[in-house]
Structures are given as structure tokens and as C-alpha cells.
């Protein structure tokens, strides 16, 4: 493989998979909120 | 009649996995590698990432926010956003109907090819096997011809599986299926890529794929291609994400989930690019010639890959993994496409889930099974896919963004809604992307597409055939959308005040 191809392979993986990792970490730091079940009358549609 | 509370996802992870399952589909595996190769190789990453950040993610977040805020199917949510926008939702439902009918067909082929891979039944001529022996394609586009049992039965089986999963409901059906299928898909694909990377010639393939052509960045078509790839691969623009987000709780995160789903989709695409090009490198090494300029699509999956599978050691195992991945990726996407229609009918007719699934799903499955497993099925699929993608999904998305941003002017309100509960706050960039960048790029994409269409007949098909199977299908989807929106809602069917911006503002 040429040097430029190897560099782009690494950059692609780091940016996209790194982006996924950061997004997951960010979401984990924002905990899920438990919500009460909804009553039927709030859904007429 | 159903006055049940709206269904909800069991967990946030369940929703995100379902959103990823919907986004990761056949296009990730066979469209992205070909697009990237043709548009600058490694350099394509730059416009691709910019497209993800300036159009893909903003649209995804907009759809999530509309769905969660209005807690309804695409038509119900658009109606609650502003009555004149309701037709966009029905248009998207009609588009999903068309896509579901032929998407199931490709899944049925992939199911058969899992079996064919074991004995490599295509022999030495994968192309002849596909078109003559397996599909028995007729000579004239537009003629339905006789049924092909080898496609008919697996197609029927695909529909039974999809309808059973949908009938089980959002939590027990869709969520559970994605919790099983997505990890399985990742496992299949990781093994597949590792195998591809250990083939002779893999480095040559990756070299062809990643070597950047920086000159391509000055070509406007490359940028249009990047936006097109992001757009079609993220499953935005046809109501799926509005529908899935309508089953979220009122306080659930939106932007963080969108970032995870968007980056997961792109991560899978990069993985697919590596796997596909490492495999093509093996073929190139064997044949001594460059074979990288693939069109992608059906030819790549059902002709090029079988040819390679026959030549490699452990080819049957590789084939099962590859076609198995196609089946799983396609199945989770098909489920989401049909859910758009099911949920629209449920909301509109206040029907319970199972009868709605049986009625809607039955109708889609019937159209699919009657039209496509035939000698003329491939031509129908090809024309419908081309035109519904361009003048259905892309056009509907353009209309939706223009309505939300400029006619109804709801972006500031939606931004406030998303920011109130989300892990990542949106800035002004989000409104600029949706109000300016996305409509501009979508407009350019459509002008570019129209110029091609008017220049020459797609695939050289007869004009009369394209008029009904292509333009006719795309036009009918819009017409059906407008007509369904014109049917008045009974008083008790109108949205409750808490959900309707129209009523709230009165």
C-alpha cells in the first residue's frame, strides 16, 4: 500500500470510529431518565 | 378501535439499535464502496464527513425531534406540526410502500444466495446463473411474464418473518429483533473483513480504495455524490426516523442518540469499504488486471462476489457470511420501512397493531409477491428504485425541509425541544444547515439527476416503460400523498391539543 493510502485508511478509521466512540461516551454521561407510563387519554390519536 | 397508550421503546439502547438497524442497509454494503472509489478514493472522506455533519445529522435530529414532539406516525406528526404539511407524511408513506415491495425481493435473493454459497451453485458463470438460471429474466422490460418459484417462495418467507416481528410490537418485536440482529451483523462483518484482509491482493484493493485523489475535491459532482451517499444511507427523508422517534419517552435524549446512530452508520460503511475492496483486490491479484471500477449494487453483490467466492479457499464460508450479512442488514431496514406504513394506518384509523399489520403488511406483501418474483421483476425493480429514490425520497426531503424551515418556520421551536432533554445542545449551525445547506444541496442533486434523466433513457429502457414504471411510480406516490391528506379527519381523530402546534397557537 502507498503511504498516502495508509494515512487515509488510518485517518478514516480514527475520525469515524473515534466519532462513534465519543458520541457513545457523551451519551453515557447523560443518563437515561425513567418516565412514568402514559395514561390512555393522552393519546386520542 | 384502539385507545391504548402509545407504545414505547424499552430502553434507549433499544431505540438506538433499531435506528442503526434501519440506517445500515444494503446501500452501506454495496453502494458506499463504489461511490467512494469513483469519487476520489481516500479524498472522498472529506466531503463525506462534511455531508454527514452539515446535512445527514441535522436532518436526522430534525426527524427525531418532530417524531418525539408529536408522538405520531409521519402523517400525524406533520399534521400536528402544521396542517398543510400533512401531505408530506402521506407522500413518505406511499414512498415506503413502493420501496418495501422491491426491498423484500432483494432480501429474498440474498436468502437464496446464502444457500447457493455452500455448494457455489453458480459454477463458472455467476452472471449467467443470476439472470438466466435463477431470476429467469425476460427479454422485454415491462412484461410481467411467468412466476419464478425459486424467488417466489423465499420472498413469501421474508414477508412472513417481517410481519411476525411487526405484529409483536415495538418493544417485543422491533426492539428485540434489532438487539439480536445488530450484534450478529457486526460479528458476521468483522469475521468477513478479517478473512478479506488475509487474502492475497488485499493490500492492492485497499490501496485502490484509500489512495486520495485530492483533485476530485474541486469537482462539484463529487460533493453531490457525498451528500447523496450520506442522505440515502442514513434513512432520512422517508418518515422512518419520525416514526421510530414517536415511540420515545418525552424526556429522552435526541441529539446524542442521533450522533451515535449517524456515526455507527458511517463506521459500518467504512468497514464495508475495507471488506469489499480487500476482496476485490484478491480478484485483481488473480486476474492480473484492475477490476476496481465496480458499479456497486446488484452486480457487485450477486455477480462479482460469487465469482470471487468460487476462487478463494473457504469460499462457501465467506459466501454464507457475506450474504448472511446482506440478509440481516436488509431485514432490519425492511422492518423499519414497513413500520412507517403500519404506524400511519394505526394512527389514522385508530387501529390496534395486529389488525393494522395484517392489513397493511398483507397489502404490501401481496403487491410484492404478485409483481416481482416474475420474469419482468428485475426491470420493474430497477426502474422503480431509480425514480423513487430521486423523485420520491430526495424530493420529499427537500419539500419537508423547506416546509419546516421556511413555510412553517418551526426550526427554533424544534431546537428548543431537542435542547431541553439532549446530551448535545444544538447551536445556530443546526438551523443554518437545515435552512440553507440541506435545501441547496438537495436542490443541486435533483437538478443534476433531472439533467441525466432528460439526456438519455435510464439504462436505455424504452420511454413507454420508464413513463409508467419510473416516472409513473414516483408521481403516483406524490399523488397518493396529496389525496390521502385531503380526506377530512373525523373530529375525534384530530390530534389532542397537547400535541398540536396548530391548536396550541390558537
Residue B481: all three cell numbers together: 400523498
Nearest chain A CA: its distance from B257 CA (Å): 7
CA B374 to chain centre: 24
Asked if A10 reaches chain B (Cβ–Cβ under 8 Å), the answer is: no
Cβ contacts of B179 within 8 Å, gap of 6 or more:
B13, B14, B17
pLDDT at A38 over 90: no
CB–CB contact A5 B211 (8 Å): yes
Tell me the pLDDT of chain B (506 aa) as tens digits: 456 788 999 999 999 999 999 999 998 888 898 888 888 888 898 999 999 999 999 999 999 999 999 999 999 999 999 999 999 999 999 999 999 999 999 999 999 999 999 989 998 888 899 988 888 888 778 777 778 888 899 999 999 999 999 999 999 999 999 999 999 999 999 999 999 999 998 999 999 899 999 999 988 888 888 888 898 899 898 899 999 999 999 999 999 999 999 999 999 999 999 999 999 888 888 776 666 667 778 888 898 899 889 988 889 999 999 999 999 999 999 999 999 999 999 999 999 999 999 999 889 989 998 888 888 888 998 899 989 988 999 999 999 999 999 999 999 999 999 999 998 999 899 999 999 999 999 999 899 889 988 888 998 999 999 999 999 999 999 999 999 999 987 765 555 434 445 444 33
Residues facing B374 on adjacent strands: B147
pLDDT at A44 over 60: no
- Among B318, B315, B325, B301, smallest CA distance to B184 is for B325
Q: Report the residue from B49, B207, B493 with minimal CB separation from A1.
A: B207
Distance (Å, whole) CA B19 – CA B17: 5
Q: Report the residue from A4, A20, A23 with minimal CB separation from B211.
A: A4
CB–CB contact A45 B76 (8 Å): yes
Residue B366: all three cell numbers together: 401481496
Angle between helices B255-287 and B202-210 in degrees, nearest 10: 130
* CA-based nearest residue in chain A for residue B75: A45
Residue A8: all three cell numbers together: 487515509
CB–CB contact A16 B11 (8 Å): no
Nearest chain A CA: its distance from B69 CA (Å): 13
CA B329 to chain centre: 10
Distance (Å, whole) CA B492 – CA B170: 25
- Among B32, B27, B116, B80, smallest CA distance to B326 is for B27
Q: What is the pLDDT of residue B112?
A: 95
- Rounded to 5°, the CA angle B66-B349-B490 comes to 90
Distance (Å, whole) CA B269 – CA B271: 5
Cβ contacts of B438 within 8 Å, gap of 6 or more:
B54, B55, B58, B59, B397, B401
Asked if A25 reaches chain B (Cβ–Cβ under 8 Å), the answer is: no
Q: What is the pLDDT of residue A39?
A: 52
Q: What is the pLDDT of residue B492?
A: 52
Residue with cell 433499531: B18
Cβ-in-10-Å burial (0-12, 13-18, 19+) of B119 comes to exposed
- Among B341, B317, B392, B354, smallest CA distance to B104 is for B341
CA distances from B221 to B224, B303, B436, B504 (A): 5, 28, 19, 44
Sign (positive or negative) of CA dihedral B28, B66, B239, B164:
positive
The interface pTM score, or ipTM, of the predicted complex is: 0.87
- Where residue B473 falls (left for φ over 0; alpha for ψ -120 to 50; beta otherwise) is alpha
Residue B294: all three cell numbers together: 465496480
- DSSP character at residue B69: H
CB–CB contact A9 B42 (8 Å): yes
Residues facing B147 on adjacent strands: B374
Residue B289: all three cell numbers together: 488486471
Q: What is the pLDDT of residue B19?
A: 97
Asked if A3 reaches chain B (Cβ–Cβ under 8 Å), the answer is: no
Chain A residues closer than 8 Å to B45 by CB? 8, 11-12, 15
Residue B351: all three cell numbers together: 387501529
Chain A residues closer than 8 Å to B4 by CB? 40, 43
Chain B residues closer than 8 Å to A9 by CB? 42, 206, 210, 274
Chain A residues closer than 8 Å to B5 by CB? 37-40, 42-43
- Where residue B288 falls (left for φ over 0; alpha for ψ -120 to 50; beta otherwise) is left
Amino acid at each position: 500500500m502507498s503511504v498516502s493510502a495508509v494515512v487515509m485508511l488510518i485517518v478514516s478509521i480514527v475520525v469515524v470510529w473515534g466519532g462513534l466512540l465519543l458520541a457513545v461516551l457523551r451519551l453515557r454521561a447523560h443518563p437515561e431518565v425513567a418516565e412514568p407510563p402514559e395514561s390512555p387519554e393522552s393519546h386520542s390519536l | 378501535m384502539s385507545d391504548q397508550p402509545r407504545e414505547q421503546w424499552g430502553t434507549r439502547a433499544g431505540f438506538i439499535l433499531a435506528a442503526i438497524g434501519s440506517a445500515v442497509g444494503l446501500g452501506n454494503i454495496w453502494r458506499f464502496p463504489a461511490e467512494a472509489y469513483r469519487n476520489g478514493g481516500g479524498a472522498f472522506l472529506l466531503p463525506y464527513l462534511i455531508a454527514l455533519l452539515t446535512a445527514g445529522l441535522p436532518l436526522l435530529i430534525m426527524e427525531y425531534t418532530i417524531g418525539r414532539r408529536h408522538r405520531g406516525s409521519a402523517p400525524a406528526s406533520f399534521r400536528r406540526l402544521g396542517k398543510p404539511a400533512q401531505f408530506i407524511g402521506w407522500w413518505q408513506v406511499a414512498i415506503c410502500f413502493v420501496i418495501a415491495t422491491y426491498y423484500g425481493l432483494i432480501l429474498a435473493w440474498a436468502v437464496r444466495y446464502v444457500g447457493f454459497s455452500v455448494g457455489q451453485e453458480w459454477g463458472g458463470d455467476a452472471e449467467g446463473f443470476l439472470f438466466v438460471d435463477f431470476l429467469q429474466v425476460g427479454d422485454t422490460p415491462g412484461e410481467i411474464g411467468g412466476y419464478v418459484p425459486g424467488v417466489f417462495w423465499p420472498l413469501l418467507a421474508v414477508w412472513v418473518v417481517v410481519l411476525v416481528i411487526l405484529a409483536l410490537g415495538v418493544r417485543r418485536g422491533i426492539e428485540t429483533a434489532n438487539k439480536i440482529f445488530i450484534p450478529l451483523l457486526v460479528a458476521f462483518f468483522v469475521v468477513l473483513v478479517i478473512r478479506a484482509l488475509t487474502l492475497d491482493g488485499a493490500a492492492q484493493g485497499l490501496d485502490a480504495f484509500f489512495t486520495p485523489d485530492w483533485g476530485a475535491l474541486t469537482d462539484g459532482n463529487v460533493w453531490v455524490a457525498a451528500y447523496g451517499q450520506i442522505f440515502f444511507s442514513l434513512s432520512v427523508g422517508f418518515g422512518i426516523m419520525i416514526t421510530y422517534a414517536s415511540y420515545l419517552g418525552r424526556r429522552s435524549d435526541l441529539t446524542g442518540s442521533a450522533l451515535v446512530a449517524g456515526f455507527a452508520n458511517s463506521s459500518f460503511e467504512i468497514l464495508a469499504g475495507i471488506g469489499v475492496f480487500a476482496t476485490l483486490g484478491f480478484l485483481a491479484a488473480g486476474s492480473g488486471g484492475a477490476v476496481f471500477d465496480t458499479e456497486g449494487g446488484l452486480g457487485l453483490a450477486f455477480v462479482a462476489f460469487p465469482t470471487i467466492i468460487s476462487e478463494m479457499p473457504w469460499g462457501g464460508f465467506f459466501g454464507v457470511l457475506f450474504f448472511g450479512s446482506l440478509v440481516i442488514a436488509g431485514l432490519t431496514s425492511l422492518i423499519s420501512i414497513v413500520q412507517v406504513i403500519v404506524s400511519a394506518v394505526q394512527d389514522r384509523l385508530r387501529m390496534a397493531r395486529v389488525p393494522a399489520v395484517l392489513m397493511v403488511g398483507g397489502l404490501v406483501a401481496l403487491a410484492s409477491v404478485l409483481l416481482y418474483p416474475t420474469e419482468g421483476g428485475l426491470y420493474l425493480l430497477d426502474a422503480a428504485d431509480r425514480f423513487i429514490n430521486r423523485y420520491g425520497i430526495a424530493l420529499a426531503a427537500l419539500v419537508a425541509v423547506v416546509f419546516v424551515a421556511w413555510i412553517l418556520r418551526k426550526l427554533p421551536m424544534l431546537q428548543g425541544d431537542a435542547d431541553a432533554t439532549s446530551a448535545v445542545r444544538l447551536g445556530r449551525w443546526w438551523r443554518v444547515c437545515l435552512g440553507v445547506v440541506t435545501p441547496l444541496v438537495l436542490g443541486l442533486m435533483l437538478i443534476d439527476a433531472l439533467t441525466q434523466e432528460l439526456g438519455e433513457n435510464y439504462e436505455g429502457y424504452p420511454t413507454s416503460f420508464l413513463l409508467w414504471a419510473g416516472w409513473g411510480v414516483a408521481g403516483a406516490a406524490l399523488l397518493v400523498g396529496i389525496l390521502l391528506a385531503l380526506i377530512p379527519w373525523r373530529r375525534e381523530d384530530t390530534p389532542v391539543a397537547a400535541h398540536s402546534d396548530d391548536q396550541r397557537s390558537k
